[in-house]
Every structure is written in C-alpha cells, then in structure tokens.
Amino acid sequence: MIPAPQNDKSLLQEHKFYQSTEKQLPLSFNGANVFIIFLIIFLAGSTYKLITISRRRRRTFNQEFEKTNPV
C-alpha cells in the first residue's frame, strides 16, 4: 500500500503544478518524437505507394485479360 501523504501543503502544490502543466503541454521535439513522426510518415507513404502499385497492376491485368478473352 502507498502511505498517505503527511504534508497537505505539498500535495496541494503538486496538484496545482499538474493543473498548470495540463493546460500547456508543449510538444517537445526530442529524438524519440522525431523518430516516431518520421516512422508514421514513412509507413503512410509506403502504404500509399503499395496501394497505387497494386491498383495499377490490377488494372493492367484486367486490360490484358479482356484483350485475350473478349466477352
């Protein structure tokens, strides 16, 4: 069990500190954040590229299939 705080003033000061920091919440660009942002952008770009390539291949396959097997 966590012991109860003995000093109520320190608890109140801590509460005020966290209340003041909740309003600001600055985005700090440290190495981990930059890496995560880069990773998200890279994954989004590669997913987009994969989708466009697969659509292009499907379209050319359907065109070739229609040429060889006219309905």
Rounded percentage of the chain residues whose pLDDT exceeds 70: 73
32 pLDDT above the threshold of 70:
yes
- Give CA–CA dist 35/42, Å, rounded: 10
Query: What is the amino acid identity at position 1?
Result: M
pLDDT-based confidence at 14, cuts 50/70/90? confident
Locate all alpha helices (DSSP H) within the chain, ordered by sequence: 8-24, 31-68
Q: Between these two residues, 21 and 30, which has the higher pLDDT value?
A: 30
- Cβ neighbors of 27 (< 8 A, separation 6 or more) are 33
User: For 44-62, what is each residue's pLDDT tens digit?
Assistant: 999 999 999 999 999 999 9
What are the boundaries of each domain within the chain? Answer: 30-71
Contact predicate 36/28, CB 8 Å: no
To the question of pTM greater than 0.85 for the whole model, the response is no
